[in-house]
Amino acid sequence: MTAPTARHAELLPRQRSRNTYWLSSAGFVAPAVLLAAVVLYLPFLYTTYISFTEYNGLGDPEWVGLENYVDMFTDPGLVNSLVNTLYWVAGTLILPVGLGLMIAVLSHGLPNATLFRLPFLIPYAISGVAVGVIWSFILQTNGALSQVVGFFGVDAPRWLLDSPLNTFVMIVASTWQGAGVNALLFGIGLQSIPKEPLEAARVDGASGFTLFRTMTWPMLTPLTTVVVGLSIVGSLKTFDIVWGMTKGGPGGASETLALTMFKETFQSNQYGLGAAVAVFLTVVTVAASIIYLRRQLAPGRSA
Amino acid sequence: MTAATPVVRRPRTSPGVVVRQVVLAILGVIWLVPVYLLLANASKRPEVFGEYSVWQPGDLGGLVSNMADAWGRGRLSLGTLSTALYAITSPALAVLVGAAAGFSIVALRLRRGFFWFVLIFTSTVFPLQMILMPLFIGYASTGLYNTRTGMILVYTVISVPFSAFVMRNFFSGIAHHVFEAAVVDGASPWRIFWRIYLPMSGPALVAIFILQATFIWNDLLLGLTLSQSETVRPVIAALSALQSTYGGSAMSTVLAGGLLVSLPTVVLFLATQRAFTRGLSLGQF
């Protein structure tokens, strides 16, 4: 019974697996698909539907078309969140990504590279709220940073009260948390660059910044795409640090879209508006994700 | 600067290396300042907090008593225990579910496997904000709201796509002959999965587990949305509440709480940095 089947398997493995294992293959993939469908995709569809309605959680949702979306781009509070979110995206690309690249390049090939990178990695494992606790303390009135600034004879600004300064200092706090992991990723990329072309360029006289600009940077592009994509996606969703430092205040001045979604939905019971913000965030996030997902999901890599 | 005498090959500690080390060391010290401020001020006793400069350290006894205060009076204890439960159970379940999906797609050559893979994986692309409100409504109407089962369920599902992604990549690296040989020996798919594929993927499973456990431990958004009571609420949400209710002279308690909550993930991360890095590179490329 087994022998002929086995020989058959050797001859036509693909054909055979399709015929024999369709039931078990469906069984093995079913838990993941079912969980994703019920807990992720159904809610996804429901939020999309609610974004076109007026709904406060009680009674029935009332269809209002694009009204919530119009509100999102006209209401001053929401526009402010939108602008803050753009600050976060731009700031994250400049600071944590730029510094991460710098740390990776500086430490690459050093004898004690791991040791030099360690200080930057510690904050990465800390939650955004704990980062917020630490930095709120540093930034409080007459706190550590104000004393440092005062030492140089400058009057300290009200770090967390004035807008848009509060958003900028929170981006600094998130840089403190996130630069290390970008350095780690760029480090992986640098290690995977073949040595020979670099050596050849060095023999030809290239060194320092020229070597980096003409050789290392172009070869690092695939990884840079991933880091940039991840950073954009991450910064669009900024929530924890802001929640831990200002809760979006004062008076919504430092809110990001992620915070606005949460507050509109769970504090103001404006489910429709909250859902519209969520949908908008999703559209932008997906657009940004395509930058790096194209690499991950390239058909050539399919199983 | 000097005459262009033909110099012998530069020694290994070239000026460039020294400059790089100095720049990195300065940056590193700057990076450690917030850590120092956290430790220095979490260790000051509340009654003398105002008498010190923020730059002066307290003492170890103060640190211990402040942590005890955050743990007990600050109500972090229950949250820590529940979160430990979530951060162990959910990644363990997710790793199995994800590995099963990867096994089905790669080893059993599921029909239209790539479609199902994209379906599972794409759900990580959209932000959590997209599912919060329906989950809240669904949880409230099914009695899952503010229960440990509900939290374990949502954390598991959130972790499945990444797990499936990494495991599919990992299984792709195992030659299909391994599977065929086991079939010839008369093993069922179920047995091949448990006895051959899972034991072969230890490093990947550990890497996923660590990454997802860290993510769950540090989660705020799902905890805020789907739980309420001190026994169910995850520890980060509890820390956030502690921060809002305490302040002023009790600042040292809040900082000690922040330190307490951060210790497990920082220690886990530093102890398993290699596996962590491997997990990142498996997930990203």
Distance between CA B97 and CA A32 in Å, rounded? 6
Confidence of residue B17 (pLDDT cuts 50, 70, 90): confident
List of chain A residues whose C-beta atoms are within 8 Å of the C-beta of residue B171: 303
Give the minimum alpha-carbon distance from B98 to chain A in angstroms, rounded to a whole number: 6
List of chain B residues whose C-beta atoms are within 8 Å of the C-beta of residue A138: 34, 37
* Substitution target from B26, B128, B130 for chain A, most A beta carbons within 10 A: B130
- Check residue A301 and give its pLDDT: 42
Nearest CA in chain B to A11: B180
Residue A24 domain-assigned? Answer: no
Nearest CA in chain A to B282: A296
- pLDDT at A5 exceeding the cut of 60: no
Nearest CA in chain A to B18: A110
User: Looking at this predicted complex, what is its ipTM?
Assistant: 0.84
Pick the closest to residue B54 from A242, A134, A123 (CA basis). Answer: A134
Nearest CA in chain A to B54: A144
The reply to whether residue A39 touches residue B23, judged by beta carbons under 8 angstroms, is: no
Instruction: Write down the H helix ranges in chain B.
Output: 15-42, 60-72, 76-106, 113-122, 129-142, 148-172, 176-184, 189-192, 198-200, 202-217, 221-226, 235-245, 251-271, 273-284
Give the minimum alpha-carbon distance from A179 to chain B in angstroms, rounded to a whole number: 10
Q: Is A185 within 8 Å of A100 (Cβ atoms)?
A: yes
In chain A, the number of structural domains is: 1
Residue A216 domain-assigned? Answer: yes
At A61, the amino acid letter reads P
- Check residue A296 and give its pLDDT: 59
Q: What share of chain A is helix, strand, coil (3-state, %, to 5)?
A: 75, 0, 20
- pLDDT at B81 exceeding the cut of 50: yes
- Check residue A1 and give its pLDDT: 38
Q: What is the token pair recorded at B185?
A: 């020996």
Instruction: Write down the H helix ranges in A2-66.
Output: 2-11, 13-20, 22-35, 42-50
- pLDDT at B87 exceeding the cut of 90: yes
The answer, for B140 touching chain A at a CB cutoff of 8 Å, is: no
Q: Write the pLDDT tens digit of every residue in A213-226.
A: 888 888 888 788 88
Residue A92 domain-assigned? Answer: yes
Confidence of residue B16 (pLDDT cuts 50, 70, 90): confident
Of residues B41, B125, B236, nearest to A137 (C-beta) = B41
DSSP B81-94: HHHHHHHHHHHHHH
What letter would DSSP give residue A58?
S
A vs B, Cβ pairs < 8 A, gives 295
Which B residues in the span 107-136 are in contact with A, Cβ-Cβ below 8 Å? 108-111, 113-114, 116-121, 123, 125-136
The reply to whether residue B157 touches residue A2, judged by beta carbons under 8 angstroms, is: no
> For position A131, which CATH number holds?
1.10.3720.10
List of chain A residues whose C-beta atoms are within 8 Å of the C-beta of residue B268: 125
Which tops the pLDDT comparison, A170 or B12? Answer: A170
Q: What is the token pair recorded at A278?
A: 């969520």
Which tops the pLDDT comparison, B13 or A34? Answer: A34
List of chain A residues whose C-beta atoms are within 8 Å of the C-beta of residue B254: 133, 137
* CA distances from residue B12 to A130, A206, A207 in whole angstroms, order as listed: 42, 18, 15
Of residues A13, A129, A230, nearest to B240 (C-beta) = A129
Per-residue burial over A220-233, b if 16 or more Cβ lie within 10 Å, else e, is beebbebbbbbbbb
- pLDDT at A23 exceeding the cut of 90: no
- pLDDT at B4 exceeding the cut of 70: no
Give the minimum alpha-carbon distance from A274 to chain B in angstroms, rounded to a whole number: 9
The reply to whether residue B133 touches residue A279, judged by beta carbons under 8 angstroms, is: no
Distance between CA A87 and CA A170 in Å, rounded? 11
Q: For the residues A75-90, what does the mean pLDDT come to? A: 93
Residues 6+ apart with CB under 8 A from B281: A188
Domain span at A283:
77-301
Q: What is the token pair recorded at A112?
A: 């004690």
- Tell the burial category of A57 from Cβ atoms under 10 Å away from its Cβ (0-12, 13-18, 19+): middle
Q: Torsion over CA of A165, A170, A172 and A176, rounded to 10 degrees?
A: 170
- pLDDT at B253 exceeding the cut of 70: yes
Q: Is A228 within 8 Å of A220 (Cβ atoms)?
A: no
* Look-up of token digits 């905890």: B223
Residue A61 domain-assigned? Answer: no
Confidence of residue B282 (pLDDT cuts 50, 70, 90): low
Which B residues in the span 177-216 are in contact with A, Cβ-Cβ below 8 Å? 180, 183-184, 186, 188-190, 193, 214
The answer, for B262 touching chain A at a CB cutoff of 8 Å, is: yes
- Tell the burial category of B4 from Cβ atoms under 10 Å away from its Cβ (0-12, 13-18, 19+): exposed
Beta-carbon count within 10 A of B112 CB? 10
Q: Write the pLDDT tens digit of every residue in B217-237.
A: 999 999 999 999 988 999 999
Task: Supply the pTM of this predicted model.
Answer: 0.86
Give the minimum alpha-carbon distance from A292 to chain B in angstroms, rounded to a whole number: 9
Query: How many Å separate Cα B246 from the centre of its chain?
Result: 27
Residue A161 domain-assigned? Answer: yes
Q: Write the pLDDT tens digit of every residue in A34-53.
A: 999 998 999 999 999 999 99
Of residues B184, B193, B265, nearest to A126 (C-beta) = B265
- Check residue A259 and give its pLDDT: 94
Which tops the pLDDT comparison, B251 or A1? Answer: B251
List of chain B residues whose C-beta atoms are within 8 Å of the C-beta of residue A107: 20, 24
Nearest CA in chain B to A258: B129
Q: How much of chain A, in percent, has pLDDT values that exceed 90?
A: 39
Q: Write the pLDDT tens digit of every residue in A251-279.
A: 889 999 999 999 999 999 999 999 999 99
Q: Write the pLDDT tens digit of every residue in B28-74.
A: 999 999 999 999 888 888 877 777 788 888 888 888 888 888 888 77
Q: Write the pLDDT tens digit of every residue in B267-281.
A: 888 888 776 666 666
List of chain A residues whose C-beta atoms are within 8 Å of the C-beta of residue B174: none
* CA distances from residue A28 to A101, B156, B164, B282 in whole angstroms, order as listed: 41, 17, 12, 22
Rg of chain B's alpha carbons, rounded to an integer?
Answer: 25
The reply to whether residue A25 touches residue B109, judged by beta carbons under 8 angstroms, is: yes
Nearest CA in chain B to A112: B21
Residue A42 domain-assigned? Answer: no
Q: What is the token pair recorded at B282?
A: 């498996």
Q: Is B208 within 8 Å of B91 (Cβ atoms)?
A: yes
Distance between CA A238 and CA A234 in Å, rounded? 7
Per-residue burial over B250-271, b if 16 or more Cβ lie within 10 Å, else e, is bbbbbbbbbbbbbebbbebbee
Average pLDDT, chain A: 85
The reply to whether residue B183 touches residue A6, judged by beta carbons under 8 angstroms, is: yes
* CA distances from residue A92 to A51, A167, A175 in whole angstroms, order as listed: 29, 12, 7
- pLDDT at B157 exceeding the cut of 50: yes
* CA distances from residue A104 to A109, A120, A177, A181, B284 in whole angstroms, order as listed: 10, 11, 16, 10, 17
Of residues B134, B190, B225, nearest to A47 (C-beta) = B134
Average pLDDT, chain B: 86
Give the minimum alpha-carbon distance from A296 to chain B in angstroms, rounded to a whole number: 6
- pLDDT at A19 exceeding the cut of 90: no
Confidence of residue A298 (pLDDT cuts 50, 70, 90): low
* Substitution target from A14, A22, A39, A294 for chain B, most B beta carbons within 10 A: A39
Which B residues in the span 41-100 are in contact with A, Cβ-Cβ below 8 Å? 41, 54-55, 97-98, 100
The reply to whether residue A262 touches residue B98, judged by beta carbons under 8 angstroms, is: no
Residue A171 domain-assigned? Answer: yes
Q: For the residues A216-239, what does the mean pLDDT come to? A: 86
Q: How much of chain B, in percent, has pLDDT values that exceed 90?
A: 42
Ranked by mean pLDDT, the top range of A56-60, B2-6, B7-11 is A56-60
Residue A273 domain-assigned? Answer: yes
Q: Write the pLDDT tens digit of every residue in A104-125.
A: 999 888 888 888 888 998 898 8
